[in-house]
Copies of this chain bind each other. A is one copy, B any other.
Amino acid sequence: MSAEETRHRLLETALELIWQSNYNSVGVNEICKQAGVTKGGFYHHFESKAHLFCAASEHYWDNIKRELDTVLSPVNTPLEQLENLILFIFRNKFNAESACVRGSPFFSAGLQTGCEEPMINDSLQKMSQNGVKYNLALVRSLMAGGYLEGEVEAERVARLLSQYVQGLAGFARVNGCPCLETSRKDIAEAFYRLTGLKREYWFATPPTWGTCKA
């Protein structure tokens, strides 16, 4: 196993484990064991657990960003962008194969709060604000296209969307995820309502990005 691969596996494993629970309850030992790396290896690549977390969150965002840029690509119409984003969030929050809730460790970053490390809080904040930016872009293009009704304050609506997305995973995790179709409808309807999308466009646009497995 090469050095780069070791590092990569630590990042991915940390994501996967924190994904399933949270920062505080995932130990370095567990990450190492799961990744097949010894503690010496861990601390060779990362200064501390907090540093790993920050590196992992950046690594995660790199992937997300690439997908989001596709989802919200200008080649798509605003309505398609909206539908694609809904689909994207749905797919990132729920694991269709195992019908369990993954919960997106950083996008819904608040789940991790409560740790004192300022470095981590900064990292989470950056991640969250990145999400708001993409929502803002979407809302603005919907506005420009005349798809929204009433007067819309774009920044506020973008924030509302982020707040909602933030809560999605937590709610689903606590209450279980009995019906994936329901979850997807929930997300869609929340986005329609929160953006103020005109009724005539509700559930009117087939998604163009990727395929929905559920």
Chain A 133-173 residues near chain B, CB threshold 8 A: 150, 156, 159-160, 162-173
Given the known inter-chain contacts A150-B199, A156-B186, please indicate yes or no for A174 contacting B110, CB distance below 8 A: yes
Q: Which residue of B lies closest to A150 (CB)?
A: B199
Main DSSP-derived SS at the A contact region: helix
Number of copies of this protein chain within its complex: 2
Instruction: State the CA gap A171–B21 with chains docked (Å).
Output: 18
- Taking a contact as CB atoms under 8 Å apart, the answer to whether A114 and B25 are in contact is yes
- Taking a contact as CB atoms under 8 Å apart, the answer to whether B113 and A173 are in contact is yes
In this assembly, does A109 line the interface, its C-beta being within 8 Å of a C-beta of chain B? yes
A–B Cβ pairs within 8 angstroms, 19 of them: A21-B114, A21-B115, A22-B113, A24-B25, A103-B113, A109-B170, A110-B169, A121-B174, A128-B171, A128-B174, A129-B175, A162-B167, A162-B171, A163-B164, A163-B168, A164-B167, A166-B166, A167-B170, A193-B196
